[in-house]
Amino acid sequence: MFSFKNIQEYHSALAREEITCREVIKYYLDRIQESSSLNAFVKVFEEEAIYRAGELDQIRQSGAPMAKLHGVVVSLKDVISYKNHPVSASSAILKDFKAVYSATVVDRLLKEGAIIIGTCNCDEFAMGNTNENSVYGVVRNPFDKNKVAGGSSGGSAAAVSAGLCMISLGSDTGGSVRQPADFCGVVGFKPTYGANSRHGLIAYASSFDQIGIIGNNIADIQLVFDVISGPDNFDSTALQQKIVLEGPKEISKMRIGVFTDALNHPSLDPEIRLAILKTVDDLELNGVLVDKINFDLLDYIVPAYYVLTTAEASSNLSRYDGVRYGHLSPARADELEIFYKKNRSEGFGKEVKKRIILGTYVLSEGYFDAYFTKAQQVRNLLVKESEKIFKKYDAVLMPTVPHTAFETGNVAKDPVSAYLADIFTVYANLTGIPALSLPLYRHSNGMPFGIQILTGKKNEVNLFRLADYLNSINKQ
């Protein structure tokens, strides 16, 4: 019923009094209920959302101007804090935990009139790429229920794709916004590291984590990014200046590259390869030159990513000891160490434990130089390489994921190949650059997939510009 092209159209309909926020929120709440088999939501804030919609309607009726996100229906990945609301990182260890403050991004959404409709299922502590590591179970792909929605922000991507909300905020440490967006046929955007404050985001690997946006179109993503981004005293890694989205370059003046090593990678589905090559051809037919760029470090990035993120995770997750937060084992423990062990062993799931063990190992005295230091060196190399690339190019293209959505249950049989499937997304997090997955294509197996656009740091304006352009030429 409410098929607005974007938020702007929705706002026009509100302004013309064709609809009210209450009607809209009720529509979405019904949709969520009808689509419960997707398992996209962990909690739905039904009464509260209806109440807030009523308040917003009154504001509009009073003739006051509408805020930037007036009545926009937003969901939050279950790792983003919303004061006095449950947030559990889809983990048993935080099962009954309620946030004591709101994330900065949530405060900014609310200030501009957004309605938070609920929290979305995800992989436990954002670790995974199928959403099968969640204590609440797998999220189903709206295109095919036997396939996963992706991860770790699987609930967020499925919710946007199935029309259960307009926007969802996720977190992207190594692709968790872009990969599920790719699997579910929606737009997934990870900004420059530090563009969005991480205050109130449950940490996985702090030097990689960034709050990202999942939506239906570029205009909406851009609007929400403009609202939530900017400096924040609560996060010392937040950029000191807000990223400006004005003055995009003309497409004909852009220098664009494509990573040939990514296109020739043996893991890449040939149909995805052809689709990206076709887009490159289309760009050239429209007079935009696309250079082939070598990227021979490609095979090092997944190992470096998993060494560094597990190291950071093992340290970040040490705070869950059952004393200050989370699961407290009912079993009696007379010694402190046993007490910690019980709480943590019962509270954390298998994948999280595996990563804590791996992270502790790579940080241990005997292995630190062999693994952690080496991985840091690879990261430094990548940062330098990327600076060079983006001095020369305004944007680079590559696939988002080597294949379309996995069948449910498959990854458990071969977890290493699932890690390797992050090959195209982790680069942006290792180097801190922005990246966006644009859902341009449909595979012959019926599943959607996207193209990934990357630009240099803080160059979001050209990222969005190119995404718009690719959308337009794809429709021709």
> Which residues bind to ligand GLN, rule: CB under 6 A?
126-129, 152, 171-176, 204, 309, 422
Q: In this structure, what are the phi and psi dihedrals at residue 450, rounded to the nearest 5 degrees?
A: -125, 180
Minimal CB distance residue for ligand GLN: 176
Across the chain, how many H-helices and E-strands are there? 16, 13
Beta strands in 71-230 (DSSP E): 73-77, 115-120, 140-141, 144-148, 167-171, 187-190, 211-215
Q: Smallest distance from the beta carbon of 241 to ligand GLN, in angstroms?
A: 25
Residue recorded with tokens 């954002």 = 126
Name which of 127 and 221 has its Cβ closer to ligand GLN.
127
Q: Quick one: CA dihedral 117, 118, 120, 125, positive or negative?
A: positive
Name which of 104 and 129 has its Cβ closer to ligand GLN.
129
Name which of 272 and 430 has its Cβ closer to ligand GLN.
430
Name which of 435 and 451 has its Cβ closer to ligand GLN.
435
- Whole-angstrom distance, CA of residue 422 vs CA of residue 447: 18
- CB-hemisphere CA count at 13 Å for 123? 28
Cβ distance 312 to 363 under 8 Å?
no
Name which of 190 and 465 has its Cβ closer to ligand GLN.
190
CB atoms within 10 A of CB 329: 17
ω into 75 cis (within 30 of 0): no
Q: Which residues are catalytic?
A: 77, 152, 176
Q: Smallest distance from the beta carbon of 61 to ligand GLN, in angstroms?
A: 42
Q: Smallest distance from the beta carbon of 42 to ligand GLN, in angstroms?
A: 16
Cβ distance 262 to 301 under 8 Å?
no
Q: Smallest distance from the beta carbon of 303 to ligand GLN, in angstroms?
A: 13
Q: Smallest distance from the beta carbon of 181 to ligand GLN, in angstroms?
A: 12
